[in-house]
Amino acid sequence: MRGNPIYKRWWFWVGIVLIIIIIAAVSGGNDKGPGTVDEGDKIEKSDEKKPVIEFSNVVVKSSYGTTMVAGEAVNNDDKAHSFTIKVSFYDKGGKLLGTAVGAMNDLNGGESKIFTAMGSDDFTSAAEYKVQVDTIISSDTNKENPIEFSNIITRSDFGTTTVEGEAKNNGDTKHSFTVVVGFYDKDKKLLGTAAGAVNDLAPGETKTFTAMAAEDYSKADSYKVQVDTLIE
């Protein structure tokens, strides 16, 4: 007898809820970002070439005694990479205070995506931090994104932001995935994120999605809706 698919097991959806909580928490809390960021991993880096993975536009916030990090990762390679992310926090003397961890799935060559990471302590008083690729999990040819977003609306109520829209599956298989929405100011600085999920989107089907943030982004100049992780 075949077991239930992974996305129908209770522990899978507990994990999805945790991902959404982490991303939503980046949207709220105290923004006390420390000073500097290392913009990338040194994979096969030479003096003439850019790092394979570069990080930028990083936001560091605290929430309920934890540290939430969001930012953008760009893949300068010509193939897709999946990798884990580590953010290291230091005091003024260079002493390591602790880390936050996250992951990026199937970042195509030449593309940029929003990443999130979480630390178990409040490191927002750190003097500096460094964002790096921890482990390259897999590398493959670029993969086509079958999900198309449209008809987006945003609203803010009681200090929170809700994003709704339509997600269409242009592929030939059913997909479940998480959604991340990045909010930007007029200078394209990342302000924070909202998170949501879509389950069992059949080929050719369109469903309404909802993503939420625990902060008011009604004054954001622009936003970007992306598939965070294509689960199936």
pLDDT tens-place string over residues 200-231: 999 999 999 999 998 999 999 999 999 998 88
Ranking 1-15, 39-53, 172-186 by mean pLDDT, the lowest is: 1-15
Say what the pLDDT of residue 34 is: 52
| Contact of 161 with 215, CB cutoff 8 Å | yes
Between 69 and 47, name the one with better pLDDT. Answer: 69
Q: What mean pLDDT comes out for the span 13-35?
A: 50
Say what the pLDDT of residue 45 is: 44
| Contact of 226 with 45, CB cutoff 8 Å | no
| Contact of 198 with 207, CB cutoff 8 Å | yes
Q: Is the pLDDT at 57 greater than 80, yes or no? A: yes
Q: 226 forms bridges with which residues in the sheet?
A: 180
Q: What percent of the chain has pLDDT over 90?
A: 74
CB atoms within 10 A of CB 33: 14
Q: Is the pLDDT at 87 greater than 50, yes or no? A: yes
Strands 66-75 and 80-90: unpaired
Domains present along the chain, CATH in parentheses: 32-139 (2.60.40.10), 144-230 (2.60.40.3230)
Residue 139, token pair as written in the block: 């590398």
Query: How open is the CA angle 196-197-198, to the nearest 5 degrees?
Result: 140
* Mean pLDDT of all residues belonging to the chain: 86
Q: What pTM was computed for the model?
A: 0.78
Query: How open is the CA angle 78-188-143, to the nearest 5 degrees?
Result: 25
Name the 3-class secondary structure at 141: coil
Q: For residue 50, which amino acid is it?
A: K
Residue 27, token pair as written in the block: 């949207």
pLDDT tens-place string over residues 99-139: 999 999 999 999 999 999 999 999 999 999 999 999 999 99
Q: Please, what is the end-to-end C-alpha distance for the chain in angstroms?
A: 21
The confidence band for 90, taking pLDDT boundaries of 50, 70 and 90, is: very high
pLDDT tens-place string over residues 151-165: 999 999 999 999 999
Q: 53 forms bridges with which residues in the sheet?
A: 75
